[in-house]
């Protein structure tokens, strides 16, 4: 052990030093003043300290206080030749582990050292156990906090994933209500928007409401609560059901629940509506962590709503620009008036029949009516020429898919959408243009538009020919199955013809026959003699 002796009697200090060294202790140091002892304790770690009660500079009990402040577990044995019961009790209260009355024998000293050693070992073991227990409790606390953080992050990820998956702003409100109900286990949840009437809320989405609550959608809230809910910095508020006496319909909404939690929903800083959830304060209270999650849900949903609205506005403007381009093209060629729109309708009907994906349907809606946009770069004298085209003029016409793709190149269309414009004059047998693709090398949407384009071209009046009857146009399509057209696309087109009757009329084309009698012998034909290629200028 390392032992420090604080004794102003030089002879006694030397005797104690020699005796303890003879007991093979690692180090024995003697200090004659309290100041010297404090420096020694600050500079080195000791295992036991013997302190005389009377020292020349400080009282020994004061030094005991100092030692306890530096090292609370260091064993201290007090020594005194004038021991009293008061001194002994005072020393023990201050943390001394023993008290030796002078004169004492070396045997007394040895017994004290042995007892201090045992007690020190037990104390260290106890301290170690306490530290381990404290560390374990801290680890368990950290683990609980970590698990809670993981739970929150997982829930946040699910919230953001569900919100991001929403395709339109109208789908946002049911999603908010569903997520809020799930996160808080609320008995009821509803999304309200501000009505035109003062302090009136219109219910537009709900979960857990009974039939009566669903029938009447307008709810009123008293002035004091509306003023509070309009505060710009408010994240959410808990309304006590008993304080909603002036709002009976809203009070009835809570029924046996005790609390109504409200989250303001703001769009660009302006109050738009509220998310409300009902909670039983005893059985199903709203926790602080759940409230924070709903705070984030509402903020994320509001941002998503703004982004969706902005995106839909941009898409609307984008479509307006594209339609203006098509209108400019059709103004050059009066014979193609509404051609692009009819082709798009035909193509959408075919795509639906072929179970195309929602993304493919949207691509056709966006780009279908742009398939001939490249013709805006072809001279009017060629487009409206009433007689046959020369070989050179034919080559110029064949450039319009490439010109069209270059026109839309900077509009942000994806590859599948641009392929509709570039490849709608490719052929199933590889004899088309501009790239000579064959069979399934031709993108599916381009194959669909090719059939729709050919049918509408054949059944429309052109400067260079009369229009063909719809039955003859169908026969022409069938004659070129496996040559110019994809057999599956033609089959889907024929299956969708009855469905398109009214749609064709609504977009300016002649109605298909009310009876399908004129198509008998045509719908189920999957071949036929070759009638010659469709005119190059058919599209």
Residue 355, pLDDT score: 93
Query: Is the confidence at residue 451, as pLDDT, over 90?
Result: yes
Query: Is the confidence at residue 522, as pLDDT, over 50?
Result: no
Comparing C-alpha atoms, which of 247, 225, 248, 249 is closest to residue 237? 225
Q: What 8-state DSSP symbol labels residue 368?
A: G
Query: Is the confidence at residue 519, as pLDDT, over 50?
Result: no
Q: What is the dihedral of CA 479, 481, 482, 486, to 10 degrees?
A: 160
Average pLDDT over residues 182-190: 78
Specify the DSSP element, H or E, that contains 277: strand 270-279
- Torsions phi, psi for 4 (to 5 deg): -115, 130
d(CA 421, CA 417): 7
Residue 422, pLDDT score: 93
Average pLDDT taken over every residue of the chain: 78
- Torsions phi, psi for 362 (to 5 deg): -65, -35
Lowest-confidence pick of 269-278, 425-434, 442-451, 456-465: 456-465
Angle (deg, nearest 10), helices 487-506 and 339-353: 130
Confidence band of 515 (pLDDT split at 50, 70, 90): very low
Cis peptide before 9 (omega within 30 of 0): no
Residues in the chain: 539
Query: Is the confidence at residue 504, as pLDDT, over 60?
Result: no
Going along the chain from its start, the domains and CATH numbers come out as 2-126 (3.40.50.2300), 169-310 (3.30.450.40), 333-538 (1.10.3210.10)
Cβ-based neighbours of 197, under 8 Å, separated by 6 or more: 218
pLDDT tens-digit series, residues 393-435: 888 888 889 988 888 877 778 889 899 999 999 999 999 999 9
Residue 195, pLDDT score: 79
CA distances from 129 to 72, 121, 187, 339 (A): 16, 12, 47, 87
Cβ-based neighbours of 416, under 8 Å, separated by 6 or more: 360, 363, 443, 445
pLDDT tens-digit series, residues 128-161: 888 888 888 888 888 888 887 787 777 777 777 7
Cβ neighbours, 10 Å, residue 513: 14
Average pLDDT over residues 319-326: 71
Confidence band of 212 (pLDDT split at 50, 70, 90): low
Pairing of strands 98-101, 237-240: unpaired
Comparing C-alpha atoms, which of 321, 317, 297 is closest to residue 309? 317
Confidence band of 215 (pLDDT split at 50, 70, 90): low
Higher pLDDT, 162 or 311: 162
Q: What tokens were used for 532?
A: 């010659």
Query: Is the confidence at residue 516, as pLDDT, over 60?
Result: no
Confidence band of 531 (pLDDT split at 50, 70, 90): very low
Residue 423, pLDDT score: 94
Burial 93-127 (b: 16+ CB within 10 A, else e): eeebbbbbeeeeeeeebeebbeebeeebeeeeeee
Residue 332, pLDDT score: 62
For the beta sheet containing 200-207, the strands, ordered from the edge strand earlier in sequence to the opposite edge, are 218-220, 200-207, 188-194, 270-279, 259-267, 237-240
Cβ-based neighbours of 513, under 8 Å, separated by 6 or more: 470, 519
**What's the sign of the alpha-carbon dihedral 29, 31, 34, 36?**
negative
Prediction pTM value: 0.45
Percent of the chain, pLDDT > 90?
A: 17
Lowest-confidence pick of 119-123, 147-151, 246-250, 335-339: 246-250
8 A C-beta contact, residue 517 and residue 510: no
**Would you call 520 helix, strand, or coil by DSSP?**
coil
Confidence band of 334 (pLDDT split at 50, 70, 90): low
Lowest-confidence pick of 59-68, 291-300, 349-358: 291-300
H-type alpha helices, 399-443? 400-408, 415-423
Q: What tokens were used for 179?
A: 């997520």
d(CA 163, CA 174): 11
Residue 523, pLDDT score: 34
Lowest-confidence pick of 30-34, 264-268, 409-413, 535-539: 535-539
Residue-by-residue DSSP string for 36-102: HHHHHHHHS--SEEEEESB-SSSBHHHHHHHHHHH-TT--EEEEESS--HHHHHHHHHTT-SEEEES
Cis peptide before 45 (omega within 30 of 0): no
Residue 36, pLDDT score: 92
């Amino acid at each position: 052990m390392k032992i420090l002796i604080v004794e102003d009697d030089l002879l006694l200090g030397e005797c104690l030093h020699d005796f303890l060294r003879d007991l093979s202790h690692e180090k024995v140091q003697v200090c004659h003043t309290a100041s010297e002892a404090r420096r020694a304790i600050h500079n080195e770690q000791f295992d036991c300290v013997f302190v005389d009660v009377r020292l020349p500079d400080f009282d020994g009990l004061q030094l005991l206080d100092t030692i306890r402040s530096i090292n609370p577990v260091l064993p201290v044995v007090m020594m005194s030749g004038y021991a009293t019961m008061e001194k002994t009790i005072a020393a023990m209260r201050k943390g001394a582990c023993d008290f030796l009355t002078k004169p004492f024998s070396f045997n007394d000293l040895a017994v004290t050292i042995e007892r201090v050693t045992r007690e020190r070992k037990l104390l260290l073991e106890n301290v170690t156990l306490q530290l381990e227990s404290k560390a374990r409790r801290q680890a368990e606390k950290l683990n609980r906090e970590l698990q809670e953080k993981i739970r929150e992050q997982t829930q946040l990820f699910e919230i953001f994933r569900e919100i991001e998956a929403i395709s339109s702003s109208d789908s946002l409100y049911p999603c908010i209500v569903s997520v809020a109900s799930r996160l808080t286990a609320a008995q009821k949840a509803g999304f309200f928007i501000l009505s035109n009437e003062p302090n009136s809320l219109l219910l537009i989405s709900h979960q857990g409401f009974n039939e009566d609550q669903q029938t009447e959608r307008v709810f009123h809230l008293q002035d004091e609560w509306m003023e509070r809910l309009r505060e710009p910095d408010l994240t959410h508020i808990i309304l006590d059901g008993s304080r909603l006496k002036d709002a009976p319909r809203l009070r009835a909404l809570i029924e046996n629940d005790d609390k109504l939690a409200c989250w303001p929903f703001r769009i660009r800083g302006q109050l738009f509506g509220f998310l409300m959830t009902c909670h039983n304060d005893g059985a199903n209270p709203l926790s602080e962590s759940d409230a924070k999650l709903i705070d984030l849900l509402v903020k994320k949903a509001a941002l998503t709503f703004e982004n969706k609205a902005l995106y839909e506005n941009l898409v609307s403007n984008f479509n307006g620009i594209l339609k203006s381009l098509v209108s400019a093209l059709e103004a050059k060629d009066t014979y193609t008036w509404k051609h692009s729109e009819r082709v798009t309708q035909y193509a959408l009907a075919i795509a639906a029949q072929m179970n195309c994906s929602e993304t493919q349907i949207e691509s056709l809606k966006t780009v279908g009516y742009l398939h001939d946009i490249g013709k805006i770069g072809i001279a009017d004298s060629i487009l409206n020429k009433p007689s046959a085209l020369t070989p050179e003029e034919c080559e110029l016409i064949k450039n319009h898919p490439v010109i069209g793709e270059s026109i839309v190149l900077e509009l942000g269309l994806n590859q599948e959408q641009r392929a509709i414009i570039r490849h709608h004059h490719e052929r199933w047998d590889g004899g088309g243009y501009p790239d000579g693709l064959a069979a399934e090398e031709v993108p599916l949407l381009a194959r669909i538009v090719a059939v729709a384009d050919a049918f509408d071209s054949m059944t429309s009046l052109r400067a260079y020919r009369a229009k063909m009857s719809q039955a003859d146009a169908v026969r022409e399509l069938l004659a070129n199955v496996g040559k110019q057209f994809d057999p599956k696309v033609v089959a889907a087109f024929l299956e969708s013809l009855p469905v398109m009757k009214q749609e064709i009329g609504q977009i300016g084309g002649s109605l298909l026959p009310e009876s399908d009698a004129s198509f008998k012998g045509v719908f189920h034909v999957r071949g036929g003699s070759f009638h010659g290629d469709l005119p190059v200028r058919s599209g």
